[in-house]
Amino acid sequence: MAPPDATTDLISVATIVGVYGIKGWVKVRINLENPALLTSLSPQQLIDPRGKHLRPIKVMTVRSQGKGFVAKLAGVDDRNAAELLRGHAIEIPESSLPGLDDGEFYWRDLIGCRVELSSEDDSLCLGNVDHLIETGANDVMVVRPNEESIDDRERLIPWLEGDVILGVDLESRQISVRWHPDD
């Protein structure tokens, strides 16, 4: 595997959080909706926790284990080798992500979008999307105030399309919501 071009943006698709067993398996926190994709995305790079050293890696197998996931990496064949990888991230070039259908987007595309309460007459700014949280029931947007916000409150807004989330316009970087400003 050749290293990515210096101008290529790398994104983290998983983080090694521990070891599993004695045959080199690692526990991973996966940043993908479909964990099985981890074996097909390439090229993959392993980057140390300080973000300084890249090296090619290949995730051979991923499976659920308890409440999380474990993975087998090519060339990592014992617990000692796996232990050295704790805290490393598995990254891929942004261009390796699967294409999206119309109306679909990645969470990272929502970061920084302006969140507005929509009404027939006017719109009020609640702030900008800081990050999203995955919960068991539904995802949640964390909206932090900006200079145009109606107040200085941080809000947690559930991602419920059609009910709370009325529309997403990535070109104008705006998300319209139906939400009570006091919530």
Q: Measuring CA to CA, which residue among 146, 140, 153, 105 is closest to residue 128?
A: 146
CATH no. of 10-96:
2.40.30.60
Provide the residue-wise pLDDT of the chain in tens; the chain has 183 residues: 334 444 458 888 999 999 999 999 999 999 888 898 899 988 999 998 887 778 999 999 999 998 899 999 999 999 999 999 999 999 999 888 877 777 778 888 899 999 999 766 678 899 999 998 888 788 899 999 999 999 999 999 999 988 999 999 988 999 999 988 776
d(CA 154, CA 145): 6
Domain map of the chain by residue range? 10-96, 107-177
Is 2.30.30.240 the CATH number for 107-177? yes
